[in-house]
């Protein structure tokens, strides 16, 4: 998906526009910790466009002075986006800080669309003419508070979207990423995988998105490890900030089929691990939980089970994800990783025939009667799988409102008992017949 980034000095209204474009997206899953709160990166659908959007204003660069902050945010936009929306404030006119941002964007050769915000009524339109001086062509008047002008602005941005088919890999290739906090051992794990006897590494390929991916082959199965570059530290100021590393991880997740959530056995589980894992789940990716540095833990026969219980408690929404305990350092069990990736990738693409699904659903209904509300009872007519990656089911019913969350969970469990789906989320939608 194309990536749009919003840049501009503080208080021009970047987050207002971001939120307007993203809209309120209601998550159907209730127990994911705070992934939608405080969001700076999101997928968005607007008119006929389907893209991802970044609010660089939400990336706090720490103790840097004002101007340095703005510059770092602009650089992030340049590194990460296909199109940049450069936002200014029509009420203030062109300020020196706007000119600084313009200079950085100008040098970058990225596509830039200039927006002049806070043009709340037609009389104010004259304010936009000064902004031609920034050198990005026609300024687009918008009003974040009234939601005016966004359609035209996004039309202009969409003209710079990369054309379909320009990027990415064939369907037969399994794309996966390793995500986790700095120092959990992601790069060490990649190196361990690449060093395996049966693994053949093709050359490092730069993609259209200046992310560096690594291609490898094992027993005729091709893989691409997404954003290997993001796992190495490059040393720009902003690259050590948490928001930026989260952003980088979210982008990698977006491009992956399978996400390896890497934990550090030495340090246990923290909130940031959960947020990123929650995003992988929300995005419908297959997930494997990897516990690295298992060599550092003093063990007896109960240690692994106890650690597993802890993980299950913290990652309730990932109950389907297999857990692999290993050590990138001693290479113990690192050879298990690619076979597990194969397995969850297969679940992620699994298709089940409609007749078999209906046998399972009807047995489930016979065992546990459908819920009722205000005297009407949910009636299930039939169910069918409508998509893979992740497996997605539509259940045709008398009234979708009667499909209670807990009943949906029950049906999900029954489908899992019958068909496995290990390592993949599955989605169920109730539709009126």
Nearer to ligand GDP, 13 or 185 (CB): 185
Residues 6+ apart with CB under 8 A from 80: 3, 5, 54, 247, 248, 251
Q: Restricting to residues 82-121, name those near ligand GDP by CB under 6 A.
A: none
Rounded to the nearest 5°, which phi and psi values hold at 286? -70, 145
CB of 265 to ligand GDP, least distance (A): 8
Q: Tell which one of 69, 327, 350, 370 touches ligand GDP (CB under 6 A).
A: 327
Nearer to ligand GDP, 156 or 190 (CB): 190
Plot region of 325 (φ>0 → left; ψ -120 to 50 → alpha; else → beta)? beta
Which DSSP letter does residue 163 get? Answer: P
Nearest partner of 42 among 3, 85, 71, 98, judged by Cα? 3
Residues constituting the chain: 433
Nearer to ligand GDP, 83 or 260 (CB): 260
What six digits make up the tokens of 228? 């290997």
CB of 233 to ligand GDP, least distance (A): 7
230 annotated as belonging to a binding site for a ligand: yes
CB of 231 to ligand GDP, least distance (A): 5
CB of 262 to ligand GDP, least distance (A): 7
218 annotated as belonging to a binding site for a ligand: no
349 annotated as belonging to a binding site for a ligand: no
CB under 6 A: which stretch of 13-21, 26-34, 322-330, 390-398 binds ligand GDP?
322-330
Q: What is the per-residue burial (b if ≥16 Cβ within 10 Å, else e) of 95-107?
A: eebbeebbebbee
CB under 6 A: which stretch of 53-61, 69-77, 287-295, 348-356 binds ligand GDP?
287-295
Rounded to the nearest 5°, which phi and psi values hold at 138? -65, 125
Q: Where are the alpha helices (DSSP H) in 58-128?
A: 66-80, 96-108
Q: Restricting to residues 223-242, name those near ligand GDP by CB under 6 A.
A: 231
| Binding track, positions 292-311, relative to ligand GDP; x by CB under 6 A | xx-xx---------------
Q: Restricting to residues 164-203, name those near ligand GDP by CB under 6 A.
A: 180, 182-188
CB of 188 to ligand GDP, least distance (A): 3
Burial class of 343 by CB neighbour count within 10 A (0 to 12, 13 to 18, 19+): middle
185 annotated as belonging to a binding site for a ligand: yes
What six digits make up the tokens of 90? 């029509």
Nearer to ligand GDP, 230 or 425 (CB): 230
**Torsion (CA) 179, 185, 191, 196 in degrees, nearest 10:** -90
Q: Closest residue to ligand GDP, Cβ-based?
A: 185
Nearer to ligand GDP, 182 or 339 (CB): 182
201 annotated as belonging to a binding site for a ligand: no
8 annotated as belonging to a binding site for a ligand: yes
Q: Tell which one of 17, 328, 338, 357 touches ligand GDP (CB under 6 A).
A: 328
DSSP string, 210-229: S-EEEEEEETTEEEEETTSG
C-beta separation of 311 from 319 below 8 A = no
Rounded CA separation 326/187 (Å):
14
CB of 328 to ligand GDP, least distance (A): 4
CB under 6 A: which stretch of 2-10, 321-329, 338-346, 425-433 binds ligand GDP?
321-329
Burial class of 17 by CB neighbour count within 10 A (0 to 12, 13 to 18, 19+): buried
Interaction site with ligand GDP (CB under 6 A): 180, 182-188, 231, 292-293, 295-296, 327-329
Q: Which residues are annotated as a binding site for GTP?
A: 8-15, 55-59, 117-120, 180-187, 227-231, 292-295
């Amino acid at each position: 998906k194309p990536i749009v980034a919003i840049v501009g000095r503080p208080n021009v209204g970047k987050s207002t526009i971001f939120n307007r474009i993203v809209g309120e997206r209601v998550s159907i899953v209730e127990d994911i910790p705070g992934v939608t709160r405080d969001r700076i990166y999101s997928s968005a659908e607007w008119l006929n466009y389907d893209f991802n959007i970044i609010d660089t204003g939400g990336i706090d660069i720490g103790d840097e002075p004002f101007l340095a902050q703005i510059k770092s945010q602009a650089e992030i936009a340049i590194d990460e986006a296909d199109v940049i929306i450069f936002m200014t404030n029509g009420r203030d006119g062109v300020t020196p800080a706007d000119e600084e941002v313009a200079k950085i964007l100008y040098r970058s050769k990225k596509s830039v669309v200039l927006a002049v915000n806070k043009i709340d009524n037609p009389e104010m339109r004259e304010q936009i003419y000064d902004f031609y001086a920034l050198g990005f062509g026609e300024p687009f008047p918008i009003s974040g508070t009234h939601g005016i002008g966004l359609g035209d602005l996004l039309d202009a941005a969409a003209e710079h979207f990369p054309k379909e088919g320009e990027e990415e890999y064939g369907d037969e290739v399994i794309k996966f990423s390793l995500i986790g906090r700095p120092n959990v051992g992601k790069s060490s794990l990649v190196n361990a995988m690449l060093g395996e006897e049966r693994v053949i590494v093709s050359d490092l390929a730069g993609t259209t998105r200046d992310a560096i991916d690594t291609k490898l082959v094992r027993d005729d199965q091709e893989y691409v490890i997404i954003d290997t570059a993001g796992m190495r530290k490059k040393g720009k100021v902003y690259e050590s900030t948490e928001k930026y590393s989260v952003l980088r991880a979210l982008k990698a997740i977006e491009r992956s089929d399978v996400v390896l959530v890497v934990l550090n056995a030495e340090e246990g589980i923290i909130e940031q691990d959960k947020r990123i894992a929650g995003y992988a789940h929300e995005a419908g990716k297959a997930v494997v939980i990897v516990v690295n540095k298992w060599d550092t833990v003093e063990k007896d026969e109960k240690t692994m089970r106890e650690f597993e219980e802890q993980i299950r408690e913290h990652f309730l929404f990932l109950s389907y994800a297999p857990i692999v305990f290993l050590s990138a350092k001693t290479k113990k069990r690192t050879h298990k990783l690619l076979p597990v990736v194969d397995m969850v990738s297969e679940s992620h693409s699994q298709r089940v025939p409609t007749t078999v699904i209906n046998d399972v659903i009807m047995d489930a209904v016979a065992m546990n009667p459908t819920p009722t509300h205000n005297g009407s009872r949910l009636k299930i007519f039939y169910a069918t799988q409508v998509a893979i990656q992740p497996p997605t089911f539509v259940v045709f019913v008398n009234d979708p409102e009667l499909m209670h969350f807990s009943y949906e969970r029950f049906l999900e469990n029954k489908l899992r008992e019958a068909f496995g789906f290990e390592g993949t989320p599955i989605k169920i939608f109730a539709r009126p017949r």
